[in-house]
Amino acid sequence: MEQNSLYHRPDLYDLMAPPDPILEGFYVEIARERGGRVLDLACGSGRLTIPLARAGFQVVGGDLSPQMLERARSYARAQAVELDLVQLDMRDFDLGGRTFDTIVVAVNSILHLHSLHDFRGFFGSVGRHLSPQGRLVFDAFLPNIARLNADPNKRELIGTVVHDGLGAITVEETARYDPLTQIRHVDWYWSSKTEKDFWRVALPMRSIFPQEMPLLVSSGGLRLIERFGGFDRSALTAESMRQICVCGL
């Protein structure tokens, strides 16, 4: 993940990633099927970590960004929730022999893995931290060919938000797809009423096609057990917007 990234500005990131009760409900429900120990990778500012902890799980949150982890600590204190937060790189981590009944990677965070080496390291690290009957659960956008072939010079409005200090902000994006690496190189442009493009941030995201997903999972020693097309556990179809994967040892 690039160091000069959106994840260095949790005040802006959180505006683009508001609470989602449907997503939270899915991950809480699926964690209840396994047991009490949960590892939330790429936990960010605690968007999912805090709801999991409030549901009664023993939760560890891990993230590469110290800024996001500090934001999570602040939110947890405000809500009187105890969290165990660890700075780590999900491509290669070791939590000292601890194992978990459920490991989650939510909101497309797995798409920050770009190379086969990244995926092998990630799935291998997860495998070392799963309990024997544990599950890895993650969601990722289903690649949309029309969007991948979009004009790379055309800006699209993706959101309008309100910042406590900066006021109303518009966020636009351009995107260029590299078919050799399968990486969609996205740039987000942030503008306030007083300053256009006051911040530009790159957000390169890997595209993972449905037929290659099981191969990537197996590259690190895991297996794909179930796959859904929505947080309601509906079937994966050509019309689905995401693929939600449940993996085990």
Domain count across the chain: 2
Q: Which CATH number goes with the domain that contains 18? A: 3.40.50.150
Number of H helices, E strands in the chain: 7, 11
Contacts of 13 (CB under 8 A, 6+ apart): 6, 7, 44, 45, 68
> What is the model's pLDDT at position 2?
39
> What is the model's pLDDT at position 234?
97
What's the domain range around 84? 6-142+209-248
Residues 42 and 117 in one domain: yes
Give the residue among 136, 134, 72, 126 at the shortest CA–CA distance from 94.
126
> What is the model's pLDDT at position 4?
53
Residues 191 and 213 in one domain: no
Six token digits for residue 114: 């770009």
Question: pTM of the full predicted structure?
Answer: 0.93
> What is the model's pLDDT at position 19?
87
For residues 249 and 247, give the distance between their C-alpha atoms in angstroms, rounded to a whole number. 7
What are the average pLDDT values for consecutive 10-residue runs of the chain, which has 249 residues?
68 90 96 94 95 96 95 94 95 96 97 96 96 96 90 93 94 96 95 93 95 95 96 96 97
> Does residue 97 sit within a domain?
yes
> What is the model's pLDDT at position 7?
85
Give the residue among 175, 204, 7 at the shortest CA–CA distance from 87.
7
Six token digits for residue 244: 């939600």
Residues 225 and 119 in one domain: yes
> Does residue 68 sit within a domain?
yes
Residues 168 and 236 in one domain: no
> Does residue 1 sit within a domain?
no
Residues 27 and 73 in one domain: yes
- Count of all residues that appear for the chain in the document: 249
